[in-house]
Amino acid sequence: MSDTYTLYNSTVMDHFMNPRNMGDLKDADGIGEVGAAACGDIMKISLKIKDGKIEDARFKTFGCGSAIASSSMATELIKGRTVEEAMSFSNQEVVSALGGLPPVKIHCSVLAEEALKAALEDYQKKRPSVPAPSRTTQLQPMAV
Ligand code: FES
């Protein structure tokens, strides 16, 4: 393998090469799309929510291997959580679950957090009684 791949551990490589939950959800209850100003990568997360619980999650990522692995892991981690639990989701969970990311690639996991929060905000807009998610950082929301 080339030096490019040695940046990543085997868990990151697995989620990059065999991403889970890739695609869109028909009739999604919340859709979030964000872009990273630093690199121009784009991530979209769609959620299916029933009785206050995230039943399903899908992603589409135009970006680096780390962004693809982060969105794959994030969608795995949030399935089954309540909306309330998902509101406090942090990119650090993604980094830990992936077994770490190179320091220059941490922002890729932030993109996953921001896409999830944007999807939850979209869900909240459709249901004003749901409180807004807390944010670690502020990335650029994109039109869906
Ligand atoms: S390099 Fe920008 S999301 Fe990975």
Domain-by-domain residue ranges, the chain? Answer: 5-141
Query: In this predicted model, what pLDDT tens digit does every residue of 33-44 receive, in sequence order?
Result: 999 888 899 999
Residue 122 has pLDDT above 60, yes or no: yes
Q: Does ligand 1 come within 6 angstroms of the Cβ of 67?
A: yes
Hey, which CATH number is domain 5-141, 3.40.30.10, 3.90.1010.10, 3.90.1150.10, 2.60.40.10?
3.90.1010.10
CB crowding 98-137: b at 16 or more within 10 Å, else e: beebeeebbbbbbbbbbbbbbbbbbbbeeeeebeebeeee
Q: Does ligand 1 come within 6 angstroms of the Cβ of 41?
A: yes
Q: Does ligand 1 come within 6 angstroms of the Cβ of 114?
A: no
Residue nearest to atom 3 of ligand 1 (CA): 108
Q: How confident is the model at residue 134 (pLDDT cuts 50, 70, 90)?
A: confident
List, in sequence order, every beta strand (DSSP E) within 1-144: 30-35, 42-50, 53-62, 140-141
Name residue, tokens 């309540």. 82
108 as an active site residue: the answer is yes
